[in-house]
Amino acid sequence: MRWVGLAGLKTMAWVPAESAVEELMPRLLPVEPCDLTEGFDPSVPPRTPQEYLRIEAAQCPDVVVAQIDPKKLKRKQSVNVSLSGCQPAPEGYSPTLQWQQQQVAQFSTVRQSVNRHRSHWKSQQLDSNVTMPKSEDEEGWKKFCLGERLCAEGAVGPAASESPGIDYVQVGFPPLLSIVSRMNQATVTSVLEYLSNWFGERDFTPELGRWLYALLACLEKPLLPEAHSLIRQLARRCSEVRLLVDSKDDERVPALNLLICLVSRYFDQRDLADEPS
């Protein structure tokens, strides 16, 4: 008798060892018990299939423990899909049905072009100042996409550049095809989550809008559950921010409308769609 634990479950059971092994790992083939301490010569190959199975079975451990890296379990393991819709657009803010259909058609063309030329752009060498973060580096991706200035605490507006040219480290790298073509689906989903989390606590910016559009253009269908939840969260957040915009002529309104339109009408989340004006 001994304690036997189940990997991944914080439970222990007091059961006979042989019974536990038999229950957890049912035998594929019947193998008789084998005492390898008596007359066993590891240098001599097994002479029969039965002898081979007995030797292999005796050398297998009763319990195997998986080595799990706790850092990989930091992110949520469950996906919660909310069925709540978007906030209705204020009067005069909602786009027409024709505008929405045009945006969906143009977006579809963009996606086809990205897929068609992905191999070409992926083979292009990046500039020496472009270093893409690892997929799990959330802070690194936020700074890469949005720039250190925007990600810094207390940054409220564009800073004046003291040197000629564009400092992409400060203002963020644009979603160039040579960059997004190197991102696999796991990275696309992760970066979409990182930027959605950032957007959940801050206002909409042009840098954010460009990257969200590019990531949606790279998101493959059918959607995985996690991606499905993320884009719905994104559309709802866009509708919440739109409510706070004072004027329908604000440049953020068409950008927010576009993201809601793509999520609802291209990715078939129809319950989130704006009612045509």
What average pLDDT score do residues 223-247 get? 95
pLDDT digits (tens, 9 = 90+) for 225-236: 999 999 999 999
pTM: 0.68
Q: What band does 189 get if pLDDT is binned at 50, 70 and 90?
A: very high
Q: What band does 220 get if pLDDT is binned at 50, 70 and 90?
A: very high
**How far is CA 232 from its chain centroid?**
14
pLDDT digits (tens, 9 = 90+) for 251-267: 999 999 999 999 999 99
Residue owning tokens 């954010």: 208
What average pLDDT score do residues 43-60 get? 74
pLDDT digits (tens, 9 = 90+) for 21-35: 455 556 666 666 655
